[in-house]
């Protein structure tokens, strides 16, 4: 729903990834109807990208419920390989950003990109 605004801000592609296998990400993309859009869903099964970006969730909450190696809820804007904006949705007692994901949603990123 924010595709045109993202394009106007100079965003060429939106990659959505998570620590999961490719089959799950493909099915999720089909469910979300991303075909033909600027959005691609990508798998990070071994959390290599998550670790390289230092976005692995290390809060004691997730491992205690069996979610080890999960990725933080974040968004970044990169231009020619340089990260210009990195926004993480998390709080002291909300490591997954479930209570307030606004920093990493499209609207929050658009605001941050326009402020670069």
Query: What is the tens place of the pLDDT at every residue in 5-24?
Result: 999 999 999 999 999 999 99
For the stretch 22-38, pLDDT in tens is 999 999 999 999 999 99
47: left (phi over 0), alpha (psi -120 to 50) or beta: left
Residues in the chain: 116
Q: Is residue 65 over pLDDT 70?
A: no
Place of tokens 């970044």: 76
**How far is it, in rounded angstroms, from Cα 39 to Cα 95?**
25
The pLDDT score that the predictor gives to residue 95 is 81
Return d(Cα 17, Cα 45) in angstroms, integer: 10
pLDDT on residue 91: 86
Question: Is the pLDDT confidence value at 1 over 90?
Answer: no
- Contacts of residue 114, defined as CB under 8 A and 6 or more positions apart, other chains included, come to 9
Task: Give the span between the Cα atoms of 2 and 4, in whole angstroms.
Answer: 6
pLDDT tens readout for residues 41-62: 999 999 999 999 999 988 776 5
């Amino acid at each position: 729903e924010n595709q045109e605004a993202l394009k106007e801000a100079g965003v060429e592609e939106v990659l959505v990834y998570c620590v999961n296998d490719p089959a799950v990400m493909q099915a999720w993309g089909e469910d979300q109807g991303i075909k033909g859009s600027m959005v691609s869903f990508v798998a990070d099964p071994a959390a290599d990208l998550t670790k390289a970006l230092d976005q692995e969730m290390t809060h004691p909450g997730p491992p205690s419920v069996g979610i080890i190696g999960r990725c933080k809820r974040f968004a970044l804007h990169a231009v020619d390989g340089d990260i210009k904006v990195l926004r993480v949705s998390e709080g002291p007692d909300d490591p997954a950003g479930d209570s307030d994901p606004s920093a990493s949603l499209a609207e929050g990123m658009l605001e941050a990109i326009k402020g670069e």
